[in-house]
Structure 1
């Protein structure tokens, strides 16, 4: 007797290599669990990929590059995933922008999302919309139980979150996403809201739990706005990440019961580098290491916010039941308690604990107390820094000797302090452990003066500028340089000379900044006497259309004359949809200018946009000018750092009816200047905690500055002292 048995045999997985979008569309309906679809090496331009398939646990459907890193999606390309048990790997998005609102989306539409799926070793490199104001997201996580790991995201310059967990209104499900071992590279200041690197949820469903984990990532120079990681849901874990010289903080903005632990923050003294901001109920911040953080107020190493009584869901729920324990806060500028307290945010923290923390520092106390802190119990902390009297019972104070351990972090040598601060078993994640190993981390920004020196004589300036490479110095010999067309600046370049090198230009603009352009002028003489006799000329002008890269202008030891032969003649003129990292004038002389020295009020909308992060005018002399500076930051948003303005050690003799207009500036220092027969000086505060210092100035036949407040929100800090007023005989 012969018996036959039927044994189940797994289907053989297929591996499809496709070479065109049409082949991909033809193959996709055929794939089954375990199959792999490979895109052939090369450039895939204008390819909006829809990857909808259905794998199984242990047998996913995979979309991969033929060779990891060798498939580059350019132009109007994107990726949508839908189904379950999917894997995408090895793709690079570069030299283009998403045709819609997302580069990579874990859904095809509102009904078809991806679950139990993975994005791994994928690169998005400067894949930006052409207008920096247009918002999109690079990765949108929908569904549940998805993972993004070992991927590379850097150079986002337009508005919108780099990676967002999307929790649509009316869908408060647990997501359980995992975001781990990714490289989040440099994101320059956006100059408006919407520059977060990661956001988990929005206020709509923030009172429900997402249970997303953000773990073992590197955030390198992520400076987009005050929130690097914005948590807007509950039950999330932000753990074991390395935050390197990144302006902003991990912010528990909405939602309850989140955990921030075992992260390493290294600020290296960079302005606005922060730690963790605490809002809402039941937040735990423990076992974190913070060193060299220079942020204050909302970007303090630890900022415990004041809340709004009976807060709407999108405002600030009071801090209740927070635990801030065993954190090392070393050589950091500020710990702020009751941050943001004002007439609206009047509810202080309560039922909270600050325990087992280690605080070191020199000079002034790092603690800023802005509200009642009776609701925070301080116990078993140690500090070598000054501690306010009301907190002193919760601290052991005295010198603390620190020694750097094998993990690169500092710990006290005193055994009695062994239980204070971050644990000794922290192992900071390294750059080598994040992102794909086949795609290099970004190089540092090219510095002025780091390239060649190009000796130039009259008649060859245009050729030298056109041939300049990043970092080059164009050194002018003595003589007169007649420039008939704008000099286009598309790389970081320095133009230097002796004062006997004079540039005279006959067009409406001398230097026209383009994408990637940064300009330094040193020791020159520039005259506008031959410029057109029409309104709107400028020595330096930012790009006429939107640029993604932030530009910079530095002018040192340079003389300007003849900028009053036509109306509205500006020295530096900014344009909408461009953004300067810094505009700096030092030891400059301007004799005769009909317009504005620094015209930085091009962004006129109400969304918080502004033209430049840092503005410095120092040690300079201005005679018969129209306006020294116009700086505007509109709206009521609190998500940006600047603008920051320093006007120090200058002399202004003669000026138009409105010499200086600063509106919405977040930090103003006006010190040791002399203003003689100059026009109105106006400082208008908006929201946040703007700091205005007007110190030791001399106002001769010039009115004292007028300081006003545009909105009731915020807590302006104003210091006006040491100023002297009088007439010419004084």
Structure 2
């Protein structure tokens, strides 16, 4: 630790000297457009400085190359930090020696290639001894959700990426990657520090990592990258928030705030993970550290309020594949998971992933001198295989907690207080016993990222804007939507009738509600009443949708998502809604979610829906079987569904990918009468769930309906069915018996 601190201080001193040299250079040249830029960057010399004039630079592909020196780097910067906005189809590639890039903002566009900022200009021409600092990339996302790109690709050796802000990546692809494609980019000694990795929405598929170092092709090669003093804020793309895929890397003094996933040592040996803070705050799917491979060291880390299960637990040690190929799972050998603090976190998973392929348990490993205190799950340890290859000693558990491990644990009272730094801590006596030291964040949110760029959330809450009363009539609701802003509330007249002659397009979060009393009736002359477009989100309350005016088409719906790719997740909340007579033709659905659209949350509660020729929720359009799906969290609660010919809900997640958490589905307190029995209904189910990762069905009744059908896939799905009644309804059908059912009554 002392050596690393000295190294860090020396690095700061050297870089400060470089900044001083660069900004006192007399060789500065201001450029106003891409033509002047291209002319200025020819034949760059040590000490040269190119200054981009303030303003918007649209559709520019910047290429910057030269050979500076340690004392006189070549600099590319903004006239004023944060005032040069690079937009449209644009990117930046640079190469050479001692290059410094600073103060630019990438916004309102996307890269035309595979990388936004690249530390190379060709396969052979790489950047070495160079730096990117005080740069912002904000929602510079390809509009095609499934099209992958990288925001930052580090190549070469001895480069530094510091004090940058990367937020709101919305399409597939790693936010930042250390690339090791050639020998010239291995053993690189890069430093990634003091960056703000801001919110990243759930991707709903693999390919949503925030930081990846290496790939499976270079699993046995050394990167030697240092990742320190970064703040990762709700970076929820997939369950590998950081994917370590090379050897010799160090993760030191980073903060993970409410991140839905883990720091995963997916490939590579000799990784060090030390003094990182994981603050889950009891948010869903928040995770800690996952160990795979040999000679991994995890020590002096702090974890609070982590709820993730199995691969996403607070502390996870995996099973491996004997004689594993590089792209699978090297067995855990000589791993250390010592001197960590785990407070109010639910799961510690040992030998996780054990199956016919991953059959080799850890060997020569330690889990020692850890403090594990919690009251939310009193059985936090799950053992999936033989743990005799892990040495347990000096660990502390609170008295209420049980463990299947016979030795190495001492019971202690649950004594947790909030210290002066706002963190939940055990007693000082326990801290002294494991030698942890002061419990304090190593870096704060204010200390990281670009100095000029605010850390504000892009998500706008429902009912945070103005409230407008909408008169009944033809297209009055359309006019109100056209004049609305994000967060607005549109209040319809009780008992009024609202006819739509055009699609009601939703482009931002908006609430359409009525006060308690007679529900206003909404009718439409278009195939879809409402279309949620990119950026849209919808809240509906105390309304009545009726199909009396709908056109005689097959495939109508009340709500549809955009027919083109949506790279911004939407939400749909439906409360106390009445839906009637969607039966002018076949397959008239309530919600139809198209492919390449994704919902963070869909909730239907306390609603009545009847006489429907199609389905209530069509969430099965992602059929590539690559682990992609349409909704993260789905809730059906307190509803009555009557005479629905299709499924009330069909949710599909195909394939065998293990990189995501969802879908997560709750079905509770519902009544299903004559549902799922239409003559053209293909699945023959009232509810069909394929590949759902967490499913809870409870306190519900089926009457004269098609059966509930389940298709359980990999990922150790949790499926619980409790206290349900099936009257004149077929038995539950499933492809295997991997679900728990209790109090299921057939009448």
Q: Look up the match of 2:420.
A: 406
Matched, 1:31 2:41: no
Matched, 1:286 2:302: no
Deviates further, 45-54 or 452-461: 452-461
Matched, 1:666 2:675: no
Which among 488, 491, 502 is matched to residue 505 of structure 2?
488
RMSD: 1.7
Q: Look up the match of 1:320.
A: 333
Matched, 1:48 2:22: no
Which among 719, 722, 726 is matched to residue 743 of structure 2?
722
Give the Cα–Cα distance (whole angstroms) in 2 for the partners of residues 221 and 552 of structure 1: 18
1:680 CA displacement: 3.6
Which among 667, 680, 685 is matched to residue 647 of structure 1?
667
Which among 710, 713, 723 is matched to residue 683 of structure 1?
710
Conserved 8 A contact 1:595-1:627: yes
1:405 CA displacement: 2.6
Conserved 8 A contact 2:379-2:403: no
Give the Cα–Cα distance (whole angstroms) in 1 for the partners of residues 218 and 26 of structure 2: 41
Secondary structure in structure 2 of the residue aligned to 1:24: helix
Conserved 8 A contact 2:462-2:487: yes
Give the Cα–Cα distance (whole angstroms) in 1 for the partners of residues 738 and 662 of structure 2: 15
Distance 1:213 1:694, change over 3 A: same
Matched, 1:473 2:505: no
Superposition map of 1:214-229 within 5 A: 214-229=227-242
Matched, 1:513 2:532: yes
Instruction: Count how many residue pairs are aligned between Structure 1 and Structure 2.
Output: 711
Contiguous gaps of at least 5 residues in structure 1: 1-9, 710-715
Deviations 1:227-253 (A, max 9, x none): 000000011001111111110010000
Deviates further, 31-40 or 423-432: 423-432
Matched, 1:146 2:159: yes
Which among 435, 450, 463 is matched to residue 479 of structure 2?
463
Give the Cα–Cα distance (whole angstroms) in 2 for the partners of residues 623 and 593 of structure 1: 8
Give the Cα–Cα distance (whole angstroms) in 1 for the partners of residues 372 and 439 of structure 2: 19
Conserved 8 A contact 1:407-1:428: no
Conserved 8 A contact 1:169-1:205: no
Give the Cα–Cα distance (whole angstroms) in 2 for the partners of residues 426 and 524 of structure 1: 50
Conserved 8 A contact 1:181-1:217: yes
Conserved 8 A contact 1:401-1:414: no
Distance 1:177 1:385, change over 3 A: farther
Conserved 8 A contact 1:262-1:426: no
Which among 418, 431, 450 is matched to residue 464 of structure 2?
450
Q: Look up the match of 1:5.
A: none
Secondary structure in structure 2 of the residue aligned to 1:464: helix
Deviations 1:240-278 (A, max 9, x none): 111111100100000001001111111111111000001
Distance 1:593 1:355, change over 3 A: same
Give the Cα–Cα distance (whole angstroms) in 1 for the partners of residues 562 and 691 of structure 2: 24
Distance 1:661 1:249, change over 3 A: same
Q: Look up the match of 1:420.
A: 434
Give the Cα–Cα distance (whole angstroms) in 1 for the partners of residues 360 and 33 of structure 2: 60
Secondary structure in structure 2 of the residue aligned to 1:419: helix
Which among 358, 362, 378 is matched to residue 364 of structure 1?
378
Give the Cα–Cα distance (whole angstroms) in 2 for the partners of residues 56 and 429 of structure 1: 31
1:533 CA displacement: 0.8
Secondary structure in structure 2 of the residue aligned to 1:188: coil
Give the Cα–Cα distance (whole angstroms) in 2 for the partners of residues 435 and 414 of structure 1: 33
Secondary structure in structure 2 of the residue aligned to 1:270: coil
Conserved 8 A contact 2:534-2:568: yes
Give the Cα–Cα distance (whole angstroms) in 2 for the partners of residues 389 and 239 of structure 1: 30
Give the Cα–Cα distance (whole angstroms) in 1 for the partners of residues 25 and 369 of structure 2: 57
Give the Cα–Cα distance (whole angstroms) in 2 for the partners of residues 60 and 547 of structure 1: 42
Deviates further, 579-588 or 438-447: 438-447
Q: Look up the match of 2:735.
A: 708
Conserved 8 A contact 2:318-2:332: yes
Deviations 1:50-72 (A, max 9, x none): 11111011211000001111101
Q: TM-score, normalised by structure 1?
A: 0.95
1:455 CA displacement: 1.4
1:391 CA displacement: 2.3
Distance 1:622 1:385, change over 3 A: farther
Conserved 8 A contact 1:328-1:421: no
Matched, 1:430 2:444: yes
Matched, 1:397 2:414: no
1:670 CA displacement: 1.4
Deviations 1:534-584 (A, max 9, x none): 111111111111111100111011110011221111101101111100111
Deviations 1:585-634 (A, max 9, x none): 00110011111111001111122111110111111001110211111112
Contiguous gaps of at least 5 residues in structure 2: 1-21, 678-683
1:407 CA displacement: 3.0
Give the Cα–Cα distance (whole angstroms) in 2 for the partners of residues 335 and 428 of structure 1: 24
Q: Look up the match of 1:127.
A: 140
Superposition map of 1:245-394 within 5 A: 245-362=258-375, 363-384=377-398, 386-394=400-408
1:412 CA displacement: 2.6
Secondary structure in structure 2 of the residue aligned to 1:689: coil
Secondary structure in structure 2 of the residue aligned to 1:703: coil
Conserved 8 A contact 1:170-1:205: no
Give the Cα–Cα distance (whole angstroms) in 2 for the partners of residues 357 and 602 of structure 1: 46
1:471 CA displacement: 1.7
Give the Cα–Cα distance (whole angstroms) in 2 for the partners of residues 349 and 593 of structure 1: 55
Deviations 1:457-493 (A, max 9, x none): 2033222222222222111112111111111111111
Superposition map of 1:177-188 within 5 A: 177-188=190-201
Q: TM-score, normalised by structure 2?
A: 0.93
